[in-house]
Amino acid sequence: MTEMQPGRSCLAILLAAGEGTRMKSARPKVLHEVGGRSLLGHVLTSLAQAGADAVVVVAGPERPEVAREAQAVLPGVEIALQTERLGTAHAALAARAALAKGYDDVIVTFADTPLLRPETFGALRAELAKGSAVVALGFEARDPNGYGRLVTRDGVLEAVVEHKDATPEQREITLCNAGMMALDGHQALSLLEAIGNDNAQSEFYLTDAVALARSRNLTTSALVAPESEVQGINDRIQLASAEAEFQRRKRLDVMAEGATLIAPETVFFSHDTRIGRDVLIEPHVVFGSGVSVADGAVIHAFSHLEGAAIGQGALVGPYARLRPGASLGAKAKVGNFVEIKAAEIGAGAKVNHLTYVGDATVGADANIGAGTITCNYDGFFKYRTNIGAGAFVGSNSSLVAPITIGAGAFVASGSVVTEDVAPDALAVGRGRQVAKEGWAKGFREASLARKAAAKKP
Ligand code: UD1
Ligand code: CA
């Protein structure tokens, strides 16, 4: 992404204090996830992409996990504690020390709106660059109840009025305040400090910055975003609706980049899923975090992938499960009811049916027969299995790790392999077959006779 507003410095203040009781959760609200990333993480990433030079997360002192997640997502982020929740302007002032440094642009935004795009933060900054001192972000609300209203006259933003303070006429306004705001960094501290709490909720309202700026003859303006982008999350129902919007966007992105999704609405991505060109994804596929799929690969229906790297032209599924550390070489094939964990499957290798390969390396062009199991765990420790290039493992074999099957070696089907197999050797690890001529016929006749005798009165 190109840098937004080059030459202007930017401070972002992310308000994240508050308990989010409607989630009914042991977890802080902003650590709930959309697309496998915390709400907080989404906003932090967007702010970084919008060119924020410094980010201060305002958190409540009772939730240290919020600060930990913020540091993990964006190392170097500052944490400011708001000990009493006295309103959004009061929360922003917890970042007083950073505000005093005099950045060109200041963005104040909420940690529970994960769908805000970096471009929208960039657009707010562009308004500042054009001369606005305060820029509010509005949206046309389907149900304006509860939101602050943008009061405009002749297209000019005059004030933001909270629902509880609004007159009946103001409550008719459907253009609502999304909450986030951009302020001229050289005015921000003075504006925020001048905000009082003489209102219906006795709170220090960030939104009062608009009317205050106008009283000082500063320019104010509003931008409008789609409601789907600014939706905040307060409960599990809104969380699911944000997830739906996130998935809708991600599917469009993946298709725009050249992948085919036969039934996009049935495929679920993670925030970090990377899909190449000419990839075909059949219906009902779930991507957990950390998956990359190279060009030309096919992910057949009902597969579940997590922490896996899929090579060019590889085939996966249907009904495959790829767990963290699974890595498939070019044109490798992992078929139905196969589970792969922490294993490299070499280029052109085939693991086609009903198999578990864990903690293993499978060489190029090896063939792993149906029902093969790498016995990698003894209840205490895990061990590795190495299978050389071009090896052939017969169906229903158990490979007891640690073990090495040499390149080009052959394992007879049904073997329990406990000792290393040399390259190009044959290993047979099963009971020898015994055939008894006529035994079955004799058994059948004797059994029928016993049954008939038992039935007689
Ligand atoms: C706010 C806006 C309102 C807008 C709405 C959109 C104000 C005064 N009002 O109202 O115009 O329509 O968002 O959802 O800004 N927070 C703190 N500390 C505080 C108070 C809030 O960190 O003392 C954080 C909260 O974690 C939350 C955000 O600020 O993420 C918004 O606070 P909230 O109380 O939900 O504001 P609203 O009443 O919804
Ligand atoms: Ca809110």
The confidence band for 295, taking pLDDT boundaries of 50, 70 and 90, is: very high
Give the closest residue to 326 by CA, choosing from 307, 351, 354, 302. Answer: 307
Tokens of 106: 């200041």
> Residue 275: pLDDT above 90?
yes
pLDDT higher than threshold 90 for residue 264: yes
Tell me whether the omega of the peptide bond preceding residue 226 falls within 30 degrees of 0, making it cis: no
176 lines ligand 1 (CB under 6 A): yes
Compute the distance between CA of residue 175 and CA of residue 151 in angstroms, rounded to an integer: 8
Compute the half-sphere exposure of residue 384: CA atoms within 13 Å on the CB side of its CA. 10
Task: List all residues 6 or more positions away from 256 whose beta carbon is below 8 Å from its beta carbon.
Answer: none
Give the residue-averaged pLDDT of 398-407: 98
Q: Which of 43, 57, 82, 110 to mutate to test the pocket of ligand 1 (most atoms within 8 A of CB)?
A: 110
- DSSP state at residue 437: T
Give the pLDDT confidence score for residue 6 in this predicted structure.
79
Dihedrals phi, psi of 61, to nearest 5 degrees: -65, -20
**pLDDT at 204 > cutoff 80:** yes
Quick one: pLDDT at residue 384? Answer: 98
Catalytic entry in 42, 90, 300, 353: 353
CA-based diameter of the chain, in Å?
114
Mean residue pLDDT across the chain: 97
Amino acid at 323: R
| 87 touches ligand 1 (CB under 6 Å) | yes
Predicted TM-score (pTM) above 0.85: yes
Average pLDDT, integer, range 167-191: 98
Atom of ligand 1 nearest to the CA of 85: 23
Is 284 among the catalytic positions?
no
Q: Which ligand is nearest to the CA of 87?
A: 1
- Average pLDDT (350-363) is 98
And the tokens for 171?
């409550």
CA 59/CA 56 separation, integer angstroms: 9
Beta-bridge mates of residue 298: 280, 315
CA distance 299 to 92: 47
> Tokens 């016929």 — which residue?
441
Confidence of residue 172 (pLDDT cuts 50, 70, 90): very high
Helices vs strands, H then E, count in the chain: 11, 35
| DSSP at 167 | -
The span from the CA of 283 to the CA of 300, in Å, is 8
Say yes or no: CB of residue 81 within 6 Å of ligand 1: no
* Cβ(355) – ligand 1 distance below 6 Å: no
Q: Average pLDDT in the 371-376 region? A: 98
* Region 19-32 average pLDDT: 93
Q: Give me the mean pLDDT over the 61-72 stretch.
A: 95
**Centroid of ligand 1 to alpha carbon of 29 (angstroms):** 14
Measured from the CA of 112, which atom of ligand 1 is nearest? 30
CA of 269 to the centre of ligand 2 (A): 27
Ligand 1 closest atom vs CA 86? 23
Task: Give the residue from 366, 114, 105 showing the smallest Cα distance to 241.
Answer: 114
Rounded CA separation 382/401 (Å):
8
Q: What mean pLDDT is predicted for residues 281-310? A: 99
What is d(CA 124, CA 133) in angstroms, rounded to the nearest whole number?
A: 11
The pLDDT, as a whole number, for residue 1 is: 47
**Of all protein residues, whose CA lies closest to atom 37 belonging to ligand 1?**
147
Per-residue pLDDT, 286: 99
Q: Is the CB of 91 under 6 A from ligand 1?
A: yes
Report CA(232)–ligand 2 centroid distance (Å).
7
Mean pLDDT in residue range 312-325: 98
d(CA 116, CA 225): 9
Question: How many Å is the Cα radius of gyration of the chain?
Answer: 31
- pLDDT score at 3: 59
pLDDT at residue 155, as a whole number: 86
pLDDT of residue 284 exceeding 80, the answer is: yes
